[in-house]
Structure 1
């Protein structure tokens, strides 16, 4: 039954994508106009963004780029280092269950807007990964990070630090 459901979902998504492709065939200048229009509608003024962030308790400041003279709004985030914990003697089945719950927890943090990015490191060091929390206080970030099932089980430990980044800048 699962296989049939998956096939139906796949076909539905494929058909939807095909229809989207047909309907979104606009000339380049119309695409650019639509993109600018969408960006303008979804962009708050810097003043409104500052007011919103400070009203929610976020720490912010303006930074002037010496090279471009642009003013960049800096926001404090919290970076959580997920470190190897003291209790790592779970059997394979338990470790796999914890990993699934850990990934579900991180996904929930992202969906709720509390975490902006998470991921493991590519080596086998003591620091296993990071999560960047987009919350106003260290207390909230610490609470969310320590709610992770891997942390609760002792398989991971958390170390959190305040971290500043330019608001709205994407990863490159």
Structure 2
């Protein structure tokens, strides 16, 4: 099981960080992100709100910069009610699950996904970059592993500073 989890993490990281020269959607999303990073905060806020996103500003007391906060949605992927699949079925569902997450990333709906390192009830997360919880819920429920009942989802709104990266 640990080997499968490790391979899934490697595959997912490869999907998340690979360059796709042929994907129009991926290049459009990258172009959009570059354009957003060059916009003044007020213009970016106006653009996001016109698309239905919730935002607010705050002033960083140390730098006196205006920080734009955007609402995202975190989907917690939890052990579902149907975990009785054979190993072959579970492996197939995992492959479909990773393909779904890769597609969500490529289409610009999800910004990051990954499993947790323990063997607890909460198996992983996906952060959706969409304007509404209903949209995040709908996209998460399209995941074949969720449809099968092997995983279940629980979605919560989450705020993050726009343009900041993980480090």
Q: Quickly name the TM-score band, shorter chain normalised.
A: 0.7 to 0.9
- Equivalent in the alignment of 2:80: 85
1:113 matched to 2:90? The reply is: no
Paired residues in the alignment total 134
- Equivalent in the alignment of 2:97: 102
The farther-off stretch of 147-156 and 40-49 is: 40-49
- Equivalent in the alignment of 2:160: 165
**Higher relative contact order by CA 8 Å / sep ≥ 6: 1 or 2?**
2
Give the direction of change, closer, same or farther, for the CA distance of 1:63–1:95 in structure 2 (3 Å limit). same
Two-structure CA RMSD over aligned residues (Å)? 1.6
Aligned with residue 48 of structure 2, among 34, 53, 59: 53
1:144 matched to 2:107? The reply is: no
Aligned with residue 153 of structure 1, among 123, 148, 155: 148
**What is the alpha-carbon distance in structure 1 between the residues aligned to residue 37 and residue 140 of structure 2?**
30
**What is the alpha-carbon distance in structure 2 between the residues aligned to residue 98 and residue 148 of structure 1?**
9
Q: Secondary structure at the match of 2:131?
A: coil
**What is the alpha-carbon distance in structure 1 between the residues aligned to residue 79 and residue 151 of structure 2?**
5
**What is the alpha-carbon distance in structure 2 between the residues aligned to residue 162 and residue 90 of structure 1?**
31
What 5-or-longer segments of structure 1 have no aligned partner?
1-38
Quote how far apart the aligned CAs of 1:67 are: 2.6
Quote how far apart the aligned CAs of 1:47 are: 2.4
1:67 matched to 2:62? The reply is: yes
**What is the alpha-carbon distance in structure 1 between the residues aligned to residue 100 and residue 35 of structure 2?**
33
Quote how far apart the aligned CAs of 1:42 are: 6.2
Quote how far apart the aligned CAs of 1:66 are: 2.4
Map 1:23-34 onto structure 2 (within 5 A): none
The two structures have a TM-score, normalised by structure 2, of 0.77
1:21-42 Cα distance to aligned partner (Å, 9 max, x none): xxxxxxxxxxxxxxxxxx7896
Give runs of ≥4 in structure 1 deviating > 6 Å.
39-42
Q: Secondary structure at the match of 2:42?
A: helix
